[in-house]
């Protein structure tokens, strides 16, 4: 079955996924609608397209994964907790699925991916979906995007050992950083740039690929 065919016949499996996310505490209407409307099967290899609407992470090559829908939804719901962010930095955009979800929820996204073939793949899929509020860059997520700072939200889909100070420097006052952090044991954290400084909150235990320095062609 072609990926387009999967998309046409997947409505029931998509609805089952939405129900599962709701059962796990995802309540934000805009997030659920974004998950429902973005065709996840476009962002995986065709051989895995039949598993696109399972609540599981899937490989996308180059040692990278497409995040579990629950985690995408959880991070997106956190992103909207204080209203709609205007300018967002996404680190580790992979094949572009989380980017496509966020594009429905924020005004502008600056997305960085270190693996060039994934940048090209994401660019193609975002163009196919006519998503126009994303700028995608081949670069090192550990450095952020200083030329575009400050950001209302920085969100990462790969885990550094600790929060890079250069990312905190790129937050706007009141802005938030949502990022998995750690080595073998990782925590999803949220850091808020408050009037009293940076306030860190641990959200939950997670398992992401490590955030690696440098870029690959």
Q: Which residues are catalytic?
A: 67
User: For residues 44 and 60, is the Cβ–Cβ distance under 8 A?
Assistant: yes
The closest of 169, 193, 187, 188 to 178, measured between CA atoms, is 188
- What angle (nearest 5°) sits at the alpha carbon of residue 177, between those of residues 70 and 153? 90
Distance from C-alpha of 104 to C-alpha of 93, rounded to nearest angstrom: 15
Contacting residues for 144 by C-beta, under 8 A, at least 6 apart: 89, 91, 112, 154, 164, 166, 167, 170
User: For residues 136 and 117, is the Cβ–Cβ distance under 8 A?
Assistant: no
E strands of 3-159, at which residues? 58-61, 64-66, 87-91, 108-113, 134-138, 151-156
Give whole-number Cα distances, 33 to 10, 97, 193, in Å: 15, 14, 29
Give whole-number Cα distances, 52 to 92, 136, 167, 175, in Å: 20, 23, 32, 32
The closest of 159, 173, 143 to 67, measured between CA atoms, is 159
């Amino acid at each position: 079955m072609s990926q387009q065919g999967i998309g046409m016949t997947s409505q029931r499996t998509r609805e089952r996924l939405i129900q599962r996310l709701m059962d796990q505490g995802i309540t934000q209407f805009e997030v659920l609608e974004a998950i429902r409307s973005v065709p996840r099967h476009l962002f995986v290899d065709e051989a895995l397209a039949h598993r696109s609407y399972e609540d599981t992470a899937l490989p996308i090559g180059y040692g990278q994964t497409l995040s579990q829908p629950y985690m995408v939804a959880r991070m997106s719901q956190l992103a909207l907790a204080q209203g709609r962010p205007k300018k967002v930095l996404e680190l580790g955009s992979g094949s572009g699925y989380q980017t496509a979800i966020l594009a429905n929820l924020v005004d502008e996204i600056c997305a960085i991916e270190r693996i060039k073939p994934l940048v090209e793949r994401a660019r193609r899929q975002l163009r196919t979906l006519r998503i126009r509020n994303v700028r995608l860059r081949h670069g090192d997520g550990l450095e952020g995007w200083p030329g575009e700072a400050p950001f209302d939200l920085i969100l990462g889909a790969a885990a550094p050992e600790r929060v890079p100070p250069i990312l905190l420097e790129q937050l706007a006052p009141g802005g938030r950083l949502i990022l998995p952090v750690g080595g073998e044991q990782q925590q999803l954290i949220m850091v808020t740039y408050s009037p009293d400084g940076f306030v860190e909150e641990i959200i939950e235990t997670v398992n992401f690929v490590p955030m690696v320095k440098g870029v690959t062609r």
